[in-house]
Structure 1
């Protein structure tokens, strides 16, 4: 098939996947009963939509990103809009949070303070004690009736939604009064518009980072995002775009402007303060500490100004009581929290709660993870986006409450970072809707959380595993290089025997040496030349090299003596790093460790020829090599030495 034909086919795949997903979403939205009362159908459509969209994006990736940029932007945005409009058609059923938004919006639109009273206090003040007959008759008033109170979660607690979100709630109420309709529909429509702006900003940030706009589909077309924003309605949608703007603004905007955006994101959703330390350190790394300080001061000022109109004496105390619900009372779909609680001896209904110990510990773990992600900054947008993934991931893992919509910030950061595995892992959070099925008890909930955890670890390991292994190999290569560097002379021609991925040779070449790699199979991940050999005979000339590095290779050889003979033929000097043992249990232990490490690199277990130090020295002497020096590099669990030998003339 021609390139044009293949591209056209990719476009058709995307169009088909989008069309089918929109139809499925609309079907679930309009069918009776609503999604939460038909969880099986809902989750089936979510899974099928995810599969279709993944198939379409993968098959049409070149078409989406290889043509005019406007085409990719238009397709991603159009797809995001169509999916959200379809989900917006559904009645509210997935979450009852939106009814609290409507309640607060009516209060703010009426010129009152939403933080002053709990819903129950307000209704009692306005309506007196509950009238069961009025409730049964369906009496409804705006943020004042007992019937409406029944729809709210936590009616005995003050609202925790910050002033920026309150302004949007009130706007929906005002628009509903002016134009008709219900404020809940208008509010979810506002969320959709805000979220589409976030999708646009994600694409703009991707372009600024010179990445394909197709990565924006990880957020824009994600079923979790679509349903939690348009179908359920959650305030995270108001803050995601502001968080993305921080990545885009880094290095382009004055620090005070960045501070304004940080403050606005917190006024939309307080949890988005998670990313503020990352941005602050990124600013510090880019320039001066003063820039980070200016951004922090401005952010605090914006946040303070937002709360100022609502200030009264008990505001902070009321907020603290409500926030404590999430740390000390509520828990939902939190595998790590439940496991830790169980290990601490807690048994529901039998023992005393352990939240006074567990909650501070998990909060400290979250703060430490965020601190590490912050200190990891180097001032680039790419690093900031990836650090946001880490920070949000830590927040979700250590949180005792994990609703699907909490992951919106994580999924937006994943789109910026190209972390497709995180996007796939996020799909598992939708399984938490099974907890609302009456037939699902605690054992089934535990099984669901196990499935979610295994799914997330598998998906993230699929992408991050090879990168982590490569990072570990490079770190280990640097340690090897530092050990052999003192024994290299200026101008030495170097053979790296048993080079593996070639990372040691790459460092040697970077020090100014001419390097060739040799290995039994080609796993070279560098630009250095490589020869493959049969594990015994090298296809190289006599004295072709001044020195050969043999780093932890001899114990893998079928005939180590033959390898030593061949290496001493092509190089006059040998620098050997080797694992050794002193007692029999040492040999068994290092055999187990070696096999385990090589499995991670995709290497099958093989017989290993470990020896004692004295054994290797005798082998070298028998080959006519004079041992110039040897020393221990480590005598812990991993006993290893460096031996330098030269061929006697």
Structure 2
């Protein structure tokens, strides 16, 4: 027997077994308030996953199998770091019983005499007063996925969770396939896709906590792959589907301005306008089944809350807010919530008109910068928002998103106390790490690149 081969075979198995044990503890033996256990488990599984990818980066099927295994561990667990899934179930069952989730607020709907919904009280309690007091803000294709669960699981919360989880796992498998194809097409190392697929942040926040950014990322990656292979009309339709899951990719549309070019000096405006129209038409058509006179105002009112009322895990905004307290003596979120998005828009327009987006790699890099600027200027940065910039970073030479997905777990400290108070020192540590690695990436950009 060749003991050297046996040792090489056993090592990744030990790493996979250890990760599986930590993920099982995450899924079935963790409360969100237990911050130190949360941090310990996360750091351990992050380190093990990082080493596993480093050691086995050329063993595609082993890493792909591990990624699927880690996700299946969560299959029968209720999410323990987020309560959003209760609203997903509510909206899905609402649609299957003929109610429009964009027209009715849960707290008001449950008081109606003619209203009946399986486990309504339990769902209202689970989603919390904030969600129960506002219209749904999830775009139409996301609602369609909720409705599938509502149709297949009419009276079981766990049953609905399992259906959601299978959808997200399938989306991640799609991202694995087309992300790998896109990396290959761009001449980049294929194993980079595992910095997303095997990233504990993705596994825990998407499969574990049921955030549908995973589906949005799948459609975005597929759209970029189709664009790279010159199937630009289908790319536009798929891009529209991505927006219909989560609105965030909509901010990336200006970056296509000089992508469609007939040569280095002129743009093909017909292609550009057609691309934009196909994206917008896809999004608009997805809203048709939910159309009512109130839909636009209700939907935008819910979206507007994120800019003018909510604040969590912010960076630049918290500095602006502190200055506001010193100068004005009160929280200036309503003003900052309007000014900071405007600055984000100006940055995106600058990236669109003053930087080269003629190739797919240049386009993706500027997409990464655009989303990063948006997040750094946002009033609310939930951990799962990092999914899209993490994926985009794989197609560039920038590595700072890997560091951000490690330190973003510090934001969960807010849930370790009854007042949900954030720790400014932990937030400072998080963003200092992010800015350090971002600065280092920018500084080293002119030097010879090393694959990661």
TM-score over 0.5 (shorter chain)? yes
Q: CA deviation at 1:39?
A: 2.7
Counterpart position of 1:638: none
Flag the structure with more relative contact order, 1 or 2, with Cα contacts below 8 A and sequence separation at least 6: 2
Counterpart position of 1:361: 339
Q: Contact 2:33 / 2:417 at 8 angstroms: preserved in 1?
A: no
- Give 1 or 2: higher helix fraction: 2
- Give 1 or 2: higher strand fraction: 1
Counterpart position of 2:292: 312
Counterpart position of 1:451: 429
Paired residues for 1:484-499 under 5 Å: none
Q: How many residues align?
A: 439
Counterpart position of 2:188: 211
Q: CA deviation at 1:200?
A: 1.9
Q: CA deviation at 1:127?
A: 7.3
2:10 pairs with 1:30:
no
Counterpart position of 1:18: 16
Flag the 1:327–1:11 CA change in 2: closer, same or farther, 3 A: farther
> 2:335, 2:88 → 1: CA distance?
33
> 1:178, 1:35 → 2: CA distance?
25
Q: CA deviation at 1:28?
A: 2.6
Counterpart position of 1:564: none
SS in 1 for 2:260: helix
Q: CA deviation at 1:284?
A: 4.2
Q: Contact 1:46 / 1:223 at 8 angstroms: preserved in 2?
A: yes
SS in 2 for 1:111: coil
> 1:453, 1:57 → 2: CA distance?
26
SS in 2 for 1:358: helix
SS in 1 for 2:322: helix
Counterpart position of 1:551: none
Flag the 1:201–1:303 CA change in 2: closer, same or farther, 3 A: same
Counterpart position of 2:273: 293
Flag the 1:115–1:57 CA change in 2: closer, same or farther, 3 A: same
Q: Contact 2:93 / 2:154 at 8 angstroms: preserved in 1?
A: no
> 1:398, 1:439 → 2: CA distance?
27
Q: Contact 1:284 / 1:290 at 8 angstroms: preserved in 2?
A: no
Paired residues for 1:179-258 under 5 Å: 182-258=159-235
Counterpart position of 2:47: 51
Higher mean alpha-carbon deviation, 313-322 vs 269-278, is at 269-278
SS in 2 for 1:182: helix
Paired residues for 1:523-538 under 5 Å: none
Flag the 1:441–1:184 CA change in 2: closer, same or farther, 3 A: closer
CA RMSD, 1 decimal: 2.7
TM-score, reference length from structure 1? 0.63
Paired residues for 1:500-515 under 5 Å: none
Give deviations 1:579-605, integer Å, cap 9, x for gaps. Answer: xxxxxxxxxxxxxxxxxxxxxxxxxxx
> 2:418, 2:155 → 1: CA distance?
44
Q: CA deviation at 1:154?
A: 2.2
Counterpart position of 1:325: 305
SS in 1 for 2:131: coil
2:411 pairs with 1:432:
yes
Counterpart position of 1:415: 394
Where in structure 1 are there 5+ consecutive unaligned residues? Answer: 65-70, 129-139, 471-524, 526-649
2:402 pairs with 1:404:
no
SS in 1 for 2:99: coil
Q: Contact 2:324 / 2:330 at 8 angstroms: preserved in 1?
A: no
Flag the 1:79–1:459 CA change in 2: closer, same or farther, 3 A: farther
SS in 2 for 1:150: helix
Q: Contact 1:280 / 1:295 at 8 angstroms: preserved in 2?
A: no
Flag the 1:380–1:15 CA change in 2: closer, same or farther, 3 A: farther
Counterpart position of 2:77: 90
Flag the 1:413–1:76 CA change in 2: closer, same or farther, 3 A: farther
Flag the 1:285–1:238 CA change in 2: closer, same or farther, 3 A: farther
Q: CA deviation at 1:440?
A: 8.1
SS in 2 for 1:386: helix
Counterpart position of 1:466: 444
From 361, 380, 404, the equivalent of 2:359 is 380
Counterpart position of 1:585: none
Q: CA deviation at 1:180?
A: 10
Bigger CA radius of gyration: 1
> 2:289, 2:311 → 1: CA distance?
33
Flag the 1:75–1:366 CA change in 2: closer, same or farther, 3 A: farther
Flag the 1:280–1:11 CA change in 2: closer, same or farther, 3 A: farther
Counterpart position of 1:302: 282
Give deviations 1:424-467, integer Å, cap 9, x for gaps. Answer: 2221111111111117875x610110110111122333433221
Q: CA deviation at 1:57?
A: 2.3
2:91 pairs with 1:104:
yes
From 124, 129, 132, the equivalent of 1:149 is 124
Q: Contact 2:142 / 2:212 at 8 angstroms: preserved in 1?
A: yes
> 1:25, 1:248 → 2: CA distance?
31
Flag the 1:224–1:181 CA change in 2: closer, same or farther, 3 A: closer
Q: Contact 1:99 / 1:184 at 8 angstroms: preserved in 2?
A: no
Where in structure 2 are there 5+ consecutive unaligned residues? Answer: none
Counterpart position of 2:325: 345
